[in-house]
Structure 1
Amino acid sequence: MKKLNTWNQYTIKNGNKSLVLETIMNQAPISRAEIANNTGLNKGTVSSQVSELLNEDLIYEKGPGESSGGRRPVMLLFNQHAGYCIGIDIGVNYLLGILTDLEGNICEETSMNFHQLSYEHINEELCKIIDQLTAAAPPSPYGIVGIGIGVPGAVNKDGKVLLAPNLGWQNVELKQPLEEKYECPVIIENEANAGAYGEKKFGAGKDGKDIIYVSVGVGIGVGLVLNGKLYRGNNGFSGEMGHMTIEVNGDKCRCGNNGCWELYASEQALIAYGKKLGFSEDQDTLAEMIELANTGDMEPIQSFRTIGAYLGVGITNIINSFNPEKVIIGNRLVAAKQWIEQPLLEKTKNNALWFQKDDLNVSFSELHTHATALGVAAFTFENFLKVDIHHAPAYKLMNK
């Protein structure tokens, strides 16, 4: 299996080659003649670029295809198994890791829950997950082509975690140590940005241009896709809406402010309700409350409804600010959708400005807890290929 650093010496050296590869990825099976027709490149250019891509194991031939009157053409397909990537979502109380091929199909996954681990312990578990997923990768020409990691906090453009208040992290350098250890590119991204990208590529946001992704776990993060592109802001810190104030004289947040949205509309609020029912902080309060709610117990049901209403308050502010076509709620609290959804939608229906509601869709993630991991995996294989995949059939479990 080739190490990734051999790829660092090779890049797609010209736009023609990138265009040919992207066309094959998005339109396969496709013939050389069809590539020439669809791209405007001449047949000689297409033939030479296809030959290089075949030699590099990035595409393969299959056929022949249907004839339009002459010789039946040989069809070209993208080799999605030329390499594999690892996508990891670091939550406040969990780690989720996936191994995907170069189209985002999930080949293997692993996860663990934890409670208030130190950075050192989380890093140790993170490496165990990377090792496990690396070992699960089938043989391929390029091996593991990169690692993507989503973090619940502010990440600068160089991949440094400046602040992740719910993890107690400040100025944490993840990227360089992992690149040195695993000898491959590492991409660090805010988890909500990655979740928004995952939904845009593979989930409920595939057909949308203006999408707001609201990640609801122990904290709340917001990812923005505006005019079809992920919006990161001037320095990469957009979307920290979990810390917008919704209660002027509210409780103190870990970020240092008072009355932040995530104190009332996330698992933090659920944990507070759970304490009143006798749950300890080291229990999986969400799972326990869902189990009780499924028996008809009204206390956890009412807790979920209250959280849903508070979610609706913040989402109304987002709707009025950005006028999106889609708002997608994701992450762990999606598991309680049946109790959260109605009060949430009632708030947005009653409180959003009437002209903001036209053509607006508020829904829950199709990718459930996997949006962030899929998003960072997509960043990774697109960085490897230097192309944009528009229609990859992601979120299929393989070899499971």
Structure 2
Amino acid sequence: MLFKSIGKNFLISVIPKLIRYAKAFYMLIAEFFIMAVIGVDVGGHAIKAGIVTKKGTVLDKEVVLTEPEKGRETVVNNIINVIKDLLRIDKNISSIGIGVPGVVTRKGYISYTPNIPLANFDLGKAIRKKIRKKIIFGNDADNFALAKYHFGAGKSYETIVCLTLGTGIGSGIILKGKLFSKDGAPELGHMTIKYDGAKAKCCGNDGCIESYIGRKRFSRSPLEVYKKALAGNKQALKKFENYGKLLGVAISNFVNIFNPDAVILGGQMSNAYNLFRKTMEEEIKKRTIFKTRVVKSKMREAGMIGAAVLAF
């Protein structure tokens, strides 16, 4: 009985240690062998996908149009085809991370997404029918924040608010070194800044941020307005000045809530940063309790790189 008792106690004390060592060994092997994954960033205008290393280096990439106007089937096929193109380059890739705008589960069920016909749809199931790989999903703006925190302008900070300014307004937050996310929240782009304001086409809310500074707010192509502004057109310049004011109001709310070390801007509209920076900063200075800095992202393909972070 004594020996049985000693043997039992020995196993109880040793087995947890063996499990820990086994996990550590597995992680070491994974670190050595899993060199690259595929990251996919699905946007309202384009799908960007790339082969990405653990250090955030993009080895190869593909860009195709999303084509939301052609319907769900076309969008899904475009995503699948761009992944297949990259798998032809590296057949050894075992994991894929995919970012989409809106509310999405890790397995890929999308309950809400603006600007793309994928709402109430199991995108993960549709892709896995064609691609037999490990696939993990996340919100596109959360992925942007992960990329900035690990590899970009946010790596020196503990708390950052990241905004993607494009077809819509995406938001991702790193709070004290951890991604702040729960069931698709936060969706800062849908906070109300004018209770009786314009109705947003994406969500139907009156006066939400996206209804004022989303890409669709421009009556013409934002690129066309941008070119006119650079040429000195007063109306075009005024549009970006107003854009900066409204963005500044929105950022002020985020700063007063989260007190971030930095606010990082990305997305296509951030390319016009110098045209709206002044009015944006004036509004932030007037309205915030806490001091912060606003930084324009210099990292290309941050959404793609952040999606890859999910897959490692």
User: 1:287 matched to which residue of 2?
Assistant: 223
Summarize deviations over 1:98-122 as a string: whole Å, max 9, x none.
1113432101112133463311111
Cα distance in 1 for partners of 2:156, 2:285 equals 23
| TM-score, normalising length: structure 2 | 0.87
Compared CA separation, residues 117 and 345, structure 1 to 2 (3 A):
farther
Partner of 1:167: 116
Q: Which residue of 2 aligns with 1:374?
A: 305
1:258 maps to 206
Post-superposition offset of 1:123: 0.8
CA contact (8 A) 2:166 2:267 kept: yes
Cross-structure match for 1:207:
156
Given the alignment of the two structures, is residue 116 of structure 1 paired with residue 69 of structure 2, yes or no? yes
**2:4 maps to what in 1?**
none
Determine if contact 2:159/2:175 at 8 Å carries over to the other structure.
yes
Secondary structure in structure 2 of the residue aligned to 1:182: coil
Q: C-alpha distance in 2, partners of 1:21/1:298?
A: 61
Rounded Cα–Cα distance in structure 1 between residues aligned with 2:89 and 2:167: 30
Distance 1:374 1:157 in 2: 17
> CA 1:250/1:343 → structure 2, altered by over 3 Å: closer, same or farther?
same
3-state secondary structure, aligned to 1:144: coil
Give the one of 275, 279, 299 matched to 1:343. 279
* Map of 2:8 onto structure 1: none
Q: Which residue of 2 aligns with 1:99?
A: 51
Structure 2: gaps spanning 5 or more residues: 1-17
The residue number in structure 1 matching 2:141 is 192
Structure 1 residues 249 and 106: CA distance shift in structure 2, 3 A: same
SS in 1 for 2:70: coil
Does the 8 A contact of 2:76 with 2:127 survive in 1?
Answer: no
Structure-2 change in CA distance of 1:115 and 1:286 (3 Å): farther
CA distance in structure 1 between the aligned counterparts of 2:294 and 2:227, rounded to whole angstroms: 26
In the alignment, what sits opposite 1:30?
none
Q: Residues of 1 paired with 2:54 and 2:208: CA distance?
A: 39
* Rounded Cα–Cα distance in structure 2 between residues aligned with 1:120 and 1:188: 19
Counterpart CA distance in 2 for 1:14 and 1:215 is: 42
Distance of 1:159 and 1:200 partners within structure 2: 24
CA distance in structure 1 between the aligned counterparts of 2:35 and 2:101, rounded to whole angstroms: 28
**Residue 307 of structure 1: aligned partner:** 243
Spell out the pairing of 1:213-362 with structure 2 (5 A cutoff). 213-233=162-182, 236-253=183-200, 254-270=202-218, 272=219, 274=220, 285-353=221-289, 356-357=290-291, 360-362=292-294
Instruction: Describe the SS at the equivalent of 1:335.
Output: helix
Q: Measure, in 2, the Cα distance between the counterparts of 1:332 and 1:115.
A: 18
Amino acid at match of 1:324: P
The question of whether the paired residues in 2 share the 8 Å contact of 1:221 and 1:239 is answered with no
Residue 154 of structure 2: SS of its match in structure 1?
coil
The residue number in structure 2 matching 1:38 is: none
For residues 290 and 110 of structure 1, what CA distance do their matches in structure 2 show? 26
Q: Which residue of 2 is the match for residue 149 of structure 1?
A: 98
Measure the CA separation in 1 of the matches of 2:62 and 2:148. Answer: 20
Q: Which amino acid aligns with 2:217?
A: A
Task: Give TM-score scaled by structure 1 length.
Answer: 0.68
> Deviation digits for residues 234-260 of structure 1, max 9, x if unmatched?
xx2212111111122212222121111
The answer to whether residue 296 in structure 2 is matched with residue 364 in structure 1 is yes
Q: CA deviation at 1:21?
A: 8.3
Distance of 2:150 and 2:171 partners within structure 1: 17
Equivalent-residue separation in structure 2 for 1:267 and 1:101 (angstroms):
32
- Quickly say closer, same or farther: Cα 1:335–1:14, change in 2 above 3 A: farther
Taking the aligned partners of 2:64 and 2:107, their CA distance within structure 1 comes to 28
**Within 2, Cα distance between the matches of 1:172 and 1:155?**
10
Alignment root-mean-square deviation, CA = 2.2
- SS of 1:89's equivalent in the other structure is strand
Q: Distance in 2 between matches of 1:237 and 1:220?
A: 14
What letter is aligned with 2:213?
A
In 1, distance between residues paired with 2:156 and 2:19? 30
CA contact (8 A) 2:80 2:130 kept: no
Q: Percent identity?
A: 29
State the partner residue of 1:43: none
Distance 1:335 1:303 in 2: 15
2:83 matched to 1:130? yes
Deviation, structure 1 residue 348 = 0.7
Structure 1, unaligned runs of 5 or more? 1-12, 23-48, 60-78, 275-284, 382-400
* SS at 2:203 equivalent: coil
**Inter-partner Cα distance in structure 2 for 1:325 and 1:133:** 37
2:9 corresponds to which residue? none
SS at match of 2:248: helix
Question: Aligned partners of 1:177, 1:333: CA distance in 2, in Å?
Answer: 31
The 8 Å contact of residues 145 and 380 in structure 1, kept in 2 or not, is answered as no
